[in-house]
């Protein structure tokens, strides 16, 4: 792979992709404030915990089997692998592991997203290029910045496209920066990633398949691949956004991006606006789970419930509360994307855990009976409070006629109600239990907290066993 040094200047252009390329090339670790650096460390801990929880998932095993067929020179490591694979396949495997449980972080806007998905591409490209922790942090902040700003700009879900489409741009830019590409090289990576990687929203419609947890991993794979092609001098179609048949015309509609974090000395980096999940379920359900736990403390036995109405906002209804499959999910992917199912489990168990979505629980008659008593109703007033908050209001009517109401807008982990460092560590240890010894957990946590001083990314992988 031939790498080019990244210049710090480029000819100004009215187009968006050249602006993103210049931004990517010029962003430096010294531009980042301590709070932003700390958030990257927290998100990496959270992502690795999510990977531990998904370590033996069938989708992860499939991804590993494919990655084992290839050796990369230079290569990148994947969790559970015994040898480096190609960078793009390593990104795919780790991306599946980070995302599969639907437990990693979230950004809510016109288009919701899970921006820690970008770590898979960042880590693969960093290892391939021999980069250290400061480079990883800078590239992660860059990827968050691009993906989240695009999510602010336009809802592509409304046009039938999946949110991971934006991830092709964010991962390509981050990978290209780590590979040392020039401004023009990063621009070509964006062009090469954006053209072929527009993703159907069918990924998240109806009964959900294993691909739901793999879709962004595929965007990461393609982003790294685009950067690798650009590093060898391949060019891509342009202008990718404004062209006659470009992204604005075909996918998103026209938009403009405001100043990005670090431009003009700003420290308003998007990673600080993202939210860490407290429970392993789709993010719009988190406030309903929180409200359900409060409701449970008031009514006791949830089997007393005669009916339960969930008043919710449009995004939650459209994503996790309208398909009939959500009331009788047959896959864990459908269940963790079901507002009624997640609420029922919280009411019955007083918690939502990985076991809440196993095959036995999906056919549990008590759970299904309570789920069937739930209605999901749109509330225009609640919709107006989104995406700043994710308000869900629960109204339960008991068999004896009593009625109870609870509401939550900022569940634990929301950027308006953030988890503490200690809570992030507890979540990591809970997900890593059974896979990593307490000593290995300690070493992984130490490496993550000391990421700015880390010289080699390969140190991160040594504590994870073969799978």
pLDDT band for 26, please (50, 70, 90 cuts). Answer: very high
pLDDT of 12: 60
Phi first, then psi, for residue 407 (nearest 5°) are -145, 145
What's the pTM? Answer: 0.94
Residue 147 burial by Cβ neighbours in a 10 Å radius (0-12, 13-18, 19+) = buried
User: Strand order of the sheet with strand 392-398?
Assistant: 374-378, 305-312, 392-398, 403-408
Is the pLDDT reported for residue 9 higher than 80? no
Domain chopping of the chain, boundaries: 16-278+447-463, 283-408
Is the pLDDT reported for residue 11 higher than 60? no
Is the pLDDT reported for residue 2 higher than 50? no
What is the CA angle 115-116-122, rounded to 5? 105
Residues 283-408, CATH architecture: 2-Layer Sandwich (3.30)
Tens digit of each residue's pLDDT (9 = 90 or more) over 137-165: 999 999 999 999 999 999 999 999 999 99
Tens digit of each residue's pLDDT (9 = 90 or more) over 45-63: 999 999 999 999 999 999 9
pLDDT of 415: 94
Phi first, then psi, for residue 377 (nearest 5°) are -125, 135
Mean per-residue pLDDT, 268-289: 96
Instruction: Please list the alpha-helical segments (H only) found in 330-420.
Output: 332-335, 339-349, 359-362, 365-372, 380-383
Tens digit of each residue's pLDDT (9 = 90 or more) over 338-364: 999 999 999 999 999 999 999 999 999
3-state SS class at 12? coil
Is the pLDDT reported for residue 287 higher than 70? yes
pLDDT of 13: 73
| Chain mean pLDDT for the chain | 95
Asked whether the domain spanning 283-408 has the same topology as the one spanning 16-278+447-463, the reply is: no
Tens digit of each residue's pLDDT (9 = 90 or more) over 425-452: 999 999 999 999 999 999 999 999 999 9
Tens digit of each residue's pLDDT (9 = 90 or more) over 368-405: 999 999 999 999 999 999 999 999 999 999 999 999 99
Strand pairing class (392-398; 305-312): antiparallel
> CA 192, 263, 124, 72 torsion: positive or negative?
positive
How is domain 16-278+447-463 classified at the CATH fold level? 2-methylcitrate dehydratase PrpD (1.10.4100)
The pair of structure tokens assigned to 394 is 């629960």
pLDDT band for 36, please (50, 70, 90 cuts). Answer: very high
Phi-psi region of 315 (alpha: psi -120 to 50; beta: other; left: phi over 0): alpha
13 vs 372: CA distance, rounded Å = 56
pLDDT of 6: 43
Tens digit of each residue's pLDDT (9 = 90 or more) over 88-129: 999 999 999 999 999 999 999 999 999 999 999 999 999 999
> CA 25, 223, 229, 81 torsion: positive or negative?
positive
The pair of structure tokens assigned to 217 is 């991993």
262 vs 27: CA distance, rounded Å = 7
Tens digit of each residue's pLDDT (9 = 90 or more) over 224-275: 999 999 999 999 999 999 999 999 999 999 999 989 998 877 779 999 999 9
pLDDT of 8: 41
């Amino acid at each position: 792979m031939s790498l080019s040094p990244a210049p710090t200047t480029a000819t100004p252009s009215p187009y968006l992709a050249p602006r993103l390329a210049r931004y990517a090339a010029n962003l430096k670790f010294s531009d980042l404030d301590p709070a932003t650096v700390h958030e990257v460390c927290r998100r990496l801990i959270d992502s690795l915990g999510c990977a531990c929880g998904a370590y033996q998932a069938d989708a992860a095993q499939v991804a590993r089997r494919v990655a084992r067929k290839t050796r990369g020179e230079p290569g990148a490591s994947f969790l559970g692998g015994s040898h480096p694979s190609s960078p793009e396949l390593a990104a795919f495997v780790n991306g599946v592991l980070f995302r599969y449980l639907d437990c990693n972080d979230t950004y809510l806007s016109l288009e919701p997203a899970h921006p820690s998905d970008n770590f898979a591409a960042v880590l693969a490209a960093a290892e391939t290029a021999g980069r250290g922790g400061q480079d990883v942090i800078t590239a992660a902040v860059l990827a968050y910045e691009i993906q989240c700003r695009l999510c602010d700009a336009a809802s592509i879900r409304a046009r039938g496209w999946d949110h991971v489409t934006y991830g092709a741009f964010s991962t390509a830019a981050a990978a290209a920066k780590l590979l040392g590409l020039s401004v023009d090289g990063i621009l070509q990576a964006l062009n090469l990633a954006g053209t072929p990687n527009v993703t159907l929203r069918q990924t998240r419609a109806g009964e959900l398949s294993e691909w739901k947890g793999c879709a962004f991993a595929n965007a990461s794979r393609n982003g790294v691949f685009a950067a690798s092609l650009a590093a060898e001098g391949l060019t891509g179609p342009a202008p990718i956004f404004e062209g006659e048949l470009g992204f604005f015309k075909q996918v998103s509609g026209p938009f403009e991006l405001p100043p990005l974090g670090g431009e003009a000395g700003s420290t308003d980096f998007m990673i600080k606006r993202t939210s860490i999940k407290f429970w392993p379920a789709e993010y719009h359900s988190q406030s309903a789970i929180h409200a359900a736990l409060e409701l449970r403390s008031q009514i006791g036995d949830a089997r007393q419930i005669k009916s339960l109405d969930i008043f919710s906002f449009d995004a939650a209804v459209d994503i996790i509360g309208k398909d009939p499959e959500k009331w009788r999910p047959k896959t864990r992917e459908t269940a963790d994307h079901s507002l009624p199912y997640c609420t029922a489990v919280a009411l019955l168990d007083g918690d939502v855990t990985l076991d809440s979505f196993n095959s036995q629980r999906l056919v549990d008659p008590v759970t299904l009976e309570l789920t069937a008593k739930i209605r999901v109703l749109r509330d225009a007033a609640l919709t107006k409070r989104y995406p700043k908050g994710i308000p869900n209001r629960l109204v339960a009517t008991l068999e004896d006629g009593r009625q109870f109401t609870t509401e939550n807008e900022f569940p634990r982990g929301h950027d308006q109600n953030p988890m503490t460092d200690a809570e992030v560590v507890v979540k990591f240890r809970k997900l890593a239990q059974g896979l990593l010894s307490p000593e290995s957990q300690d070493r992984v946590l130490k490496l993550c907290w000391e990421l700015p001083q880390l010289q080699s990314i390969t140190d991160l992988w040594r504590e994870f066993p073969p799978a």
